[in-house]
A and B are shown apart, each in its own frame.
Chain A
Amino acid sequence: MLTRLRALMTKELLNILRDPKSRTVLIVPPIIQIFIFSFAMTMEAKNIHLGVLNLDAGRAGFELVQRFREAKTFTRILPLQGQAEIAPVLDEQQALAVLVVPVDFSRRLAAGSPTQVQLLLDGRKTNTAQIVGGYAQRILEGFLAEQAPGAASRMPAVLETRHWFNPNLEFMWYTVPSLICILSTVISLILTALSVAREREMGTFEQLLVSPLQPFEILLGKALPALFLALCSASLLLAIAIFVFRIPFQGSLTLLYGAMVVFLLAIVGIGLFISSLCMTQQQAILGAFVFMPPAVILSGFATPIENMPAWLQTVTGVNPLRWFLIIVRGVFLKDMPPGDVMTNILPMVVIALVTLTAAGWLFKRRMG
């Protein structure tokens, strides 16, 4: 059995690597994509105009506004005279956000009682608004920590904080590790989705089926080379992330690779499932592209899962990419402890088992 499996795996690797087209597809697009996408998907907010309505006559209010004035993010501050001016400023997009400091801000702060600063954001620009909200939050927190130590905890949160482990808010730190996940998903999915379909199309599949190779051997012989190539590709991207983009790698490589193997197995299962279903490579490619968009959108890559409706959050549970993204970001940026990594690997183990079994089942069924 090992002889047969080795022969099959060698053949699979040669088949992919000897074809100049698939060889190129494996290396060039991921590299180009990681460079282009990393810059394209930047979420950094720059050149923001901020409207300020300071109703507080006290020192604290003035100090706070000064802080915003000093922040590099806000290139222009528009002082507003009254509540009535807020709506037009936002409507006409003269400012992305308006900061409202209440009348009693200084007084309440001095008294140590809870107070509220209002930040109105242009909801049409969801992403930027969210980021600016984050900036504002940080400025406010910094200010409060100086003004009245201990008061910060009592302040109502403007937005939940998401930038702890990216103190300089380098958005590349966030996008590049995520891109590694997505690009390695594409590679392993395409490689496996094409593998059976290509043999069916070329007529070599029957030649395989009449050999003593068992169905599970054939599947294994196709899964392992694809896994290997996807791991190579992911390693290359990882190296680019660390050495070219200079993103600090905080966690354990072993944990990351362990999780990556489980994750890629889950994707390989999906790829083989698509492949067993398809008669031609064209169908297989279509199948892969039916899977990719929902997998990316429901992964938390571009939009936080917490912002999705509860039922949809449950649905994202079956998406291996969702779990792997958590692990990659965690391990990459904050040295996620092994326990937490395991908590996120476990769902992927279940998903991998399900997809591989389903692929095996369909594969056997399509033969009979």
Chain B
Amino acid sequence: MLTIESITKYFAGAPQPALDAITAEIRPGHITGLVGPDGAGKTTLLRLMAGLLIPSEGRLTYDGLDTAGDTQPLHAVMGYMPQRFGLYEDLSVIENLRLYADLRRITGTQRQRTFERLLAFTGLAPFQKRLARQLSGGMKQKLGLACALIKKPRLLLLDEPSVGVDPISRRELWRMVGEMLDGETTIVWSTAYLDEAEQCERVLLLSEGRLLYSGPPQRLTRRVDGRVYQLLGIPAAQRRRLLTEILERPEIRDGVVQGKALRFVMDADAKPPDPAAFGNGPETRIVPVPPRFEDAFIDLLGGGPGGDSLLARRTFERPASERPIVEARGLTKRFGAFTAVSDNSFAIRRGEIFGLLGPNGAGKSTTFKMMCGLLKPTAGEGFVAGLHLARAAAKARARLGYMAQKFSLYGDLTVQQNLLFFSGAYGLQGRAQQEAVAAMVDVFDLKSFLGTSAGTLPLGFKQRLALACAVVHQPDVLFLDEPTSGVDPITRREFWNHINGLVEKGVTILVTTHFMDEAEYCDRIGLIYRGRKIAEGSPDRLKAAARTPEQPDPTLEDAFIALIEQSDAREAAAA
């Protein structure tokens, strides 16, 4: 039993405590999810559990051992996998295992048996000689987990093992951890993906250092029972406008795009709206759907942010155009003998959201980088706004905005200096620049932070500033690299409100993501696997392609996995 008794942790220089009076219990023999967005305090709590930090106030004990003092006996029974596991990148898979076995003093036949078990368990047996740095993100996480499991721990602490991992590897990680549960091992799995919470037996839900909920996830989800609906049968082209409309209704708590449908949560005791109000005849239906953990989380936080986007209102309407705005023609990238991307073509029309999906190492990042001009293709061409990416690189780049997954603004510069720099880098000056910057400050409510260093902003405002810097020059095309991974769900909804609004004004979006919630917002998805595009279509079409008698209503994640398995099967048949 791991007991957390009113734990508070302050960090020097931070105005708020990282953890604020947390009291909870983690039951033995179970998997407990430590759930919350980035900055909620998950890592701090895990490090306190592991005895790597000393609490400012309160006490943490595991089976009577105080984590602040009894670190020696604690570490003997505990396994800890930090977010970036300490793999030695220049050692091979087996060498990493041997190293951790040596550190844990596992020798002789026990060592051989452990290695065999772990290699089979992780599916890494064929890759023993491969250097750790050449592994894909998912394989690295599996190897990290294997190293943490060398000596079977009674308490296993996993810090975001699934971050940046594709859905297939994510499922494998869950299967591996599931197999470990034998009634004795206690597992703490921290995650920012709210859908993973549903797979845990119990969860601790953290937000801004406070414990919002602890208990089985189903009990939290129950609070929105009978309040979640889907709006079906609306014209695809209107779903973004309808979402905005729905979100503006006072009795609607929250809403998101789900492929062609809209999903929304009603206030308690409110009646769902009349489908006729959305004026598409008898096709339009509103059906109740089972609630998700995220619905309950948003409800707990007091509902989503509404549907209006001031940014969209300030954006000028792009003229209609039949020509594709973003186009890839036979893009190919080879690194030496290795072909990362092979003959990839797609075209994105004005005002469309196109998603690039694929497992780690499939070539989607490479494709994405070629499309924003960060990488030169070995063969093929890319066009942005009709401009050739290689021949008119600077002109093409001037028309696009880019937002990286990691916060990548200048942390030492103030909010205002960042905005001035990015607007200046895009050639804005004088009054035009002043106005553009003022508009961004207004839209994203940054006024009170103008003189704050960007690096010290609260996470939600960092996210806003990043979008502000990406759109300050009013680009025609916006490239987003996993833009809301780890971001709290309210900020994520604000973000997508802006994106949806921009798309309505004719801005074109290319997004790459592992995050199925983001993929659902796409008009079309290109699924990349082993460097090739193996499927393309709307989220609903991909789901339809994966529909089987056993799985009549597959999620996008199911579809993703099914399509990749189909591709593997085809390849095996051809060989």
Interface segment among B163-171, B204-212, B422-430: the answer is: B422-430
Task: Indicate if the CB atoms of A4 and B408 lie closer than 8 Å.
Answer: no
Q: How far is the CA of A127 from the CA of B404 in the complex (A)?
A: 58
Contact residues in A for B410 (Cβ distance below 8 Å): 11, 15, 202, 204
Q: Give the contact stretch, choosing among A109-117, A152-160, A209-217, A270-278.
A: A209-217
Given contacts A207-B404, A210-B372, contact A7 B424 (CB under 8 A): yes
A46 sits at the interface (CB 8 A): no
CB of A8 within 8 A of CB of B408, answer: no
CB distance from A198 to the nearest CB of B (A): 10
Contact B417 A210 (CB under 8 A): no
Q: How far is the CB of A364 from chain B (nearest CB, A)?
A: 10
> Which of A11, A208, A209, A211 is most buried by chain B, counting CB atoms within 10 A of its CB?
A211
| Cα–Cα distance between A206 and B371 once the two chains are bound (Å) | 13
Contact of A18 among B372, B400, B412 (CB under 8 A): B412
Contact of A3 among B374, B375, B428 (CB under 8 A): B428
Interface segment out of the listed B271-279, B308-316, B391-399, B537-545: B391-399
For A210, what are the chain B residues with a Cβ–Cβ distance below 8 Å? 372-374, 397, 400, 402, 479
User: What's the nearest-Cβ distance from chain B to residue A137, in Å?
Assistant: 56
A204 and B421 contact, CB distance less than 8 A: no
Interface string of B320-338 (1 = CB under 8 A from A): 0000000000000000000
Also in contact, A212 and B404, with CB within 8 A (given A14-B413, A15-B413, A19-B412) = no
Q: A14-B413, A368-B375 are in contact. Are A211 and B425 (CB under 8 A)?
A: yes
Kindly state whether residue A203 has any CB partner on chain B within 8 Å: yes
| A166 CB-CB contact with B under 8 Å | no
Supposing A204-B410, A210-B372 touch, asked if A3 and B417 sit within 8 A by C-beta, the answer is no
**Which B residues lie within 8 Å of A8 (CB)?**
421, 424-425
Shortest CB-to-CB span from A12 to chain B, Å, is: 10
List the B residue with the shortest CB-CB distance to A20. Answer: B412
Q: Which residues of B contact A202 (CB under 8 A)?
A: 408, 410-411
A282 proximal to B (CB < 8 A): no
Residues on B with C-beta less than 8 A from A4 are 424-427
Contacts of A161 in B (CB 8 A): none
Q: Taking the nearest CB of chain A, how far is it from the CB of B572, in angstroms?
A: 36
B376 at the interface (CB under 8 A from A): yes
Q: Is A246 an interface residue (CB 8 A)?
A: no
User: Residue A6 at the B interface, CB < 8 A?
Assistant: yes
Q: In the bound complex, what is the Cα–Cα distance between A207 and B411 (angstroms)?
A: 13
Number of interface residues of A (CB under 8 A): 25
User: Which A residues are in CB contact (< 8 Å) with B426?
Assistant: 4, 211-212
The reply on A10 being an interface residue by CB < 8 A is yes
Contact with B along A185-212 (1 / 0, CB 8 A): 0000000000000000011101111111
List the B side residues contacting A367 at CB < 8 Å: 374, 376
Chain B residue numbers with a CB within 8 Å of A3 are 424, 427-429
Contact A212 B412 (CB under 8 A): no
Residues of chain B within 8 A of A18, CB atoms compared: 412-414, 417, 453
Residue from A6, A11, A204 in contact with B417 in the complex, judged by beta carbons closer than 8 Å: A11
B45 at the interface (CB under 8 A from A): no
Question: Residues of B contacting A212 with CB < 8 Å?
Answer: 394-395, 397-398, 425-427
Residues of B within 8 A of A208 (CB): 425
Bound complex: CA A210 to CA B420 (Å): 17
Whether A203 contacts B404 in the complex (CB less than 8 A), given A3-B424, A18-B453, comes out as yes
B409 within 8 A of A: yes
B104 contacts A by Cβ under 8 Å: no
In contact, B421 and A10 (Cβ under 8 angstroms): yes
- How many residues of chain B are within 8 Å of chain A by beta carbon? 35
**Interface flags, A308-342, vs B, CB<8A=1, else 0:** 00000000000000000000000000000000000
Beta-carbon nearest neighbor of B377 in chain A: A368
Cβ–Cβ contact A15 & B422, under 8 A: no
**A8 CA / B423 CA spacing, docked (Å):** 10
* A214 contacts B394, C-beta separation under 8 Å: yes
Find A203's partner among B406, B420, B427, B469 (CB 8 Å cutoff). B406
Residues in B neighbouring A204, C-beta threshold 8 A: 408-410
Tell me the smallest distance from the CB of B38 to a CB of chain A, in Å: 15
The interface residues of chain B lying within 8 Å CB-to-CB of A6 are 424
Convert A352-368 into 0s and 1s, putting 1 for each residue whose CB lies closer than 8 angstroms to a CB of B. Answer: 00000000000000011
Residue from B423, B427, B428 having most chain A Cβ neighbours under 10 A? B427
A209 in contact with B404 (CB, 8 Å): no
Minimum C-beta distance from B322 to chain A (A): 27
In angstroms, Cα B418 to Cα A207, docked, is 12
| CB within 8 Å of A: which B351-380 residues | 372-376
Q: Which residues of A contact B421 (CB under 8 A)?
A: 7-8, 10-11
A114 and B417 CA atoms in complex are apart in Å by: 76
Q: Nearest residue in B to A19 (C-beta to C-beta)?
A: B412
When C-beta atoms are compared, the residue in chain B nearest to A211 turns out to be: B425
**Docked CA distance A367–B370 (Å):** 11
A8 to B469, CA, bound (A): 14
- Say whether, besides A4-B427, A14-B413, A368-B376, A211 and B422 are in contact (CB < 8 Å): yes
Cα of A351 to Cα of B410 in the assembled complex, Å: 33
Residues of B within 8 A of A207 (CB): 402, 404, 408-409, 469
A213 to B404, CA, bound (A): 17
Which B residue sits closest to A213, measured CB to CB? B425
Task: Enumerate chain A residues within 8 angstroms of B422, measured Cβ to Cβ.
Answer: 211
- For A368, the chain B residues whose CB sits under 8 A away are 375-376
- List, in ascending order, chain A residues with CB within 8 A of B420's CB: 7, 10
Closest chain-B Cβ to A205's Cβ sits at a distance in Å of 8
Which residues of A sit under 8 angstroms from B427, Cβ to Cβ?
3-4, 212
- Which residues, 1 to 44 on A, are CB-close (under 8 Å) to B? 3-4, 6-8, 10-11, 14-15, 18-19
A contact residues around B425 at 8 Å (CB): 4, 7-8, 208, 211-213
CA–CA, A202 and B408, complex, Å: 7
A7, A206, A367 interface centre (most CB from chain B within 10 Å): A7
Chain A residues whose C-beta falls within 8 Å of the C-beta of B469 in the assembled complex: 207
CA distance A208 to B394 in the complex (A): 12
Q: By the criterion CB–CB under 8 Å, are B412 and A206 in contact? A: no
Interchain nearest-CB distance for B167 vs A (Å):
24
In angstroms, Cα B398 to Cα A4, docked, is: 11
Q: How far is the CA of A204 from the CA of B428 in the complex (A)?
A: 20
Interface mask (B474-505 → A, CB under 8 Å = 1, otherwise 0): 00000100000000000000000000000000
Q: Cα distance A271–B397 when bound, in Å?
A: 28
Considering only residues 214-228 of chain A, those with a C-beta below 8 Å from chain B are 214
Which chain A residues lie closer than 8 Å to B409 at the CB level? 204, 207
**CB-defined contacts of B414 to chain A, threshold 8 Å:** 18
Chain B: minimal CB distance from A194 (Å): 13
For B372, B376, B407, B408, which residue has the most chain A Cβ atoms within 10 angstroms?
A: B408
Are B424 and A10 touching (Cβ within 8 A)?
yes
> In the bound complex, how far is the Cα of B422 from the Cα of A121, in angstroms?
66
Please give, as numbers and ranges, the residues of chain A lying within 8 Å of B374 by CB-CB distance.
206, 209-210, 367
Q: State whether A14 touches B395 (Cβ < 8 A).
A: no
Chain A positions 121 through 136: 1 when the CB is less than 8 Å from some CB of chain B, otherwise 0: 0000000000000000
Q: How far is the CA of A306 from the CA of B499 in the complex (A)?
A: 69
CA distance A208 to B420 in the complex (A): 14
Give bound CA distance, A186 to B123, whole Å: 51
Q: Closest A-chain residue to B469, C-beta based?
A: A207
Do residues A203 and B408 form an inter-chain contact, with CB atoms below 8 A? yes
With A11-B417, A18-B453, A211-B398 given, name 15 new contacts (CB 8 A). A6-B424, A7-B421, A7-B424, A10-B417, A11-B413, A202-B410, A202-B411, A204-B410, A206-B402, A206-B404, A210-B373, A210-B374, A211-B422, A211-B426, A213-B394
Q: Which 5 interchain pairs have the tightest Cβ spacing?
A: A7-B424, A203-B408, A212-B398, A210-B402, A368-B376
29 A-B pairs whose Cβ atoms sit less than 8 Å apart in the complex: A3-B424, A3-B428, A4-B427, A6-B424, A7-B421, A7-B424, A8-B424, A11-B417, A11-B421, A11-B424, A18-B413, A18-B417, A18-B453, A202-B408, A202-B410, A203-B404, A204-B408, A204-B409, A206-B404, A207-B404, A207-B408, A207-B409, A209-B373, A210-B479, A211-B425, A211-B426, A212-B394, A212-B397, A212-B425
